[in-house]
Amino acid sequence: MTRMTRVLAALLPLVLLCGCWDVRDINKRYLPVVMGITKGKHADYSITLQIPSVIGKTQILQQEADSISKALDLIRTKAEKHVDLLHLRLFLISEEMAKSGLEDVMDFAIRANDISIKGMVAIVTGDFDKTLHHQISPTPEISSYDYFSEESGWTPNVSIVRIWEAFKGSQSYTEDLAYPIVHMGTDTLYDFRGSAIMKKNKMVGSMTPEQTLIYNIFLEKYTGGTIEAAKDTTVIIKKAKMRHHKSWTASGPQLKSDVYLDVAVTENKRNLSNRQIAEEIRLLIDEKGDEIVAKMRGLDSDFLGVGQIFRPTMNERQIKEWKTKWFPQLKFELSVKVNIRDNIYFKEGRQR
C-alpha cells in the first residue's frame, strides 16, 4: 500500500464515522428556553415550550400526551424546525403537578441527554396556561429566564433551584428543598409568591417571600437584599455568614446556628441608634427563623438541609433514618449577630 492510500484509509473513517450529516444549523433549530409542565386535560402531561426570537415575539408550542417524551415527540412532528432542548433553562411546573409528585419530571430532566442540568425549576401558582402564554412586550426574548438569572433580574428574595439540585434533593436522605413559586405578574412577567416546601418529590407547603429571604440567608445565598428592620428603618444586607455548632447527645442531634450579618442602613427616619437597629434586626430574624423552624417541624421537611450538616458524623443507618427518626428529634436554635458596617449619614445620637 502506498503512503497516499494509507493516508486516505486513515481519513476515511473521519468521513464515515462522524455523523456530520445529522448536524443542523442554528437557524434550522428551535431553541426553547422555558418548558412548562402541567397535567393535561385529556392526557397525563401537557407540555408547553416557549421559544424566544430576536424580534421579540415568543412562539409557544403545546402538546398533550401520556409521557413527557411522547409530548415532545409530537411537538417535534408538528414543528417546522428541529426542536432542540439544549438551551432549556427553566422548568415551570404547575402547583397541581407539584403537589401530586414530580418524580417523573425529575427523572426525565436528568435522563434526557439534551437537557442541561443547570436549568432552573419553579412552580407556578394560579392559572398555568395564562402564565405560560403571558407576554410582556418591553422585555421579550428570554425574560422568563432572566427573571431567575443571577446576572440579571434575580433578587435575594427569590429562591433558585437548579435541576441537578432538585434531583439531588428528591433523592437525598438528608435534605429537602424549597422551590420558588411564581404567579402571573401584572406589570412584569412574574410575581414572586414565596417558596414551595418540598418533601421528597411532593410539594407539602409554602413559605412567604419574607421567609424565603431568611431561608436564603440560611443557605448563604444572600447578597444585597433589603429588609425592613422596624417601622421606618430599612437596611441592606451586605454579607451573611452562617456558623453551625452541632452536637449529638443521647436525646438526639442538636444544632446551634449563628447568623452573622453585615448590614448597611439605608433608611432611618426615626433616627434609631446602631444598637437599636441591630436589636430590631435580630428580633425580626429570630421571629422569622422561628416561623421557618416551626414550618420545618410541622411539615416534617428538612428543607434547610440540616441533615447535610450532620451527615459527616452519622453512620449509614443513621443517614437512612434521618428523615424519619432523627430529624423530628432535632433541637434547633438560631441566634443572630448583626454588625452595622455603614450607617451612611445617620449620625448616632443626633436629635431631630
Partner 1 sequence: MATRGWEQLLVEKFQGNADFAIKQAVIAGRAVAVYMFESIVDLPATLERMDQSLVGLRPDIRALEQLADLYRLRADPTLTELAHLLLQGKLVIRHPESGEPMVFKAEPPAITRPVSSAENENRIQGANDAFTEELQINIGLLRKNLKRQDLMIVKYSLGSTSCREVALVYLRSETNPEIVRAVDDRLKQNKRRDIRQVDDLLGLLGHPRFALVATYVSTELPEEAAQNLLDGKAVLLLDQFPNALAVPAIVRDVWSIKTDHNYPQTYLAFFRFIRLIGIVFAIVMPGLYVVLNSVNPELLRIQLALSVAKSREGVPYPAFIEVLLMLLVLEMVIEATTRLPKSIGPTITMIGGIILGQAIVQAKLVSNLLIIILAASTIANFTVAGYLNTIGIRIFKYVVLFVSAAFGILGLEVAVIWMFLYFAGLKTLTVPYLSLSVKGSKADE
Q: Which residues bind partner 1 (CB under 8 A)?
A: 14-15, 18, 20, 23-27, 29, 31, 33, 52-55, 84, 86-87, 89, 114, 116, 141-142, 145
How far apart are CB 153 and partner 1 at their closest, in Å? 14
How far apart are CB 228 and partner 1 at their closest, in Å? 35
C-beta of 1 vs 14, nearer to partner 1: 14
C-beta of 141 vs 321, nearer to partner 1: 141
> How far is CA 178 from each of CA 166, 175, 258, rounded to the nearest angstrom?
9, 10, 21
- Tell me how far apart the alpha carbons of residues 280 and 100 are, in angstroms, rounded to a whole number: 40
How far apart are CB 183 and partner 1 at their closest, in Å? 24
271: phi > 0 → left, psi -120 to 50 → alpha, else beta; which? left
- Tell me how far apart the alpha carbons of residues 105 and 37 are, in angstroms, rounded to a whole number: 8
C-beta of 1 vs 55, nearer to partner 1: 55
C-beta of 87 vs 295, nearer to partner 1: 87
C-beta of 24 vs 270, nearer to partner 1: 24
How far apart are CB 120 and partner 1 at their closest, in Å? 13
Query: What is the maximal distance between C-alpha atoms in the chain?
Result: 99
How far apart are CB 12 and partner 1 at their closest, in Å? 12
Supply φ then ψ for residue 312, to 5 degrees. Answer: -60, -25
The three cell numbers locating residue 54: 430576536
Strand-pair partners of 56: none
How far apart are CB 70 and partner 1 at their closest, in Å? 23
How far apart are CB 302 and partner 1 at their closest, in Å? 34
- Tell me how far apart the alpha carbons of residues 193 and 11 are, in angstroms, rounded to a whole number: 59
The three cell numbers locating residue 135: 407576554
Is 101 strand, coil or helix? coil
- Tell me how far apart the alpha carbons of residues 27 and 256 are, in angstroms, rounded to a whole number: 55
C-beta of 142 vs 306, nearer to partner 1: 142
C-beta of 29 vs 256, nearer to partner 1: 29
C-beta of 79 vs 236, nearer to partner 1: 79
How far apart are CB 19 and partner 1 at their closest, in Å? 8
**C-beta separation of 78 from 86 below 8 A:** no
How far apart are CB 142 and partner 1 at their closest, in Å? 6
Is 334 strand, coil or helix? strand
C-beta of 23 vs 250, nearer to partner 1: 23
> How far is CA 165 from each of CA 94, 162, 206, 209, rounded to the nearest angstrom?
19, 5, 18, 20
Mention every residue, 6+ apart, whose C-beta is less than 8 A from residue 135: 57, 58
- Tell me how far apart the alpha carbons of residues 319 and 43 are, in angstroms, rounded to a whole number: 38
Torsion of CA 30, 36, 42, 44, to 10 degrees: 110
Termini Cα distance of the chain: 99
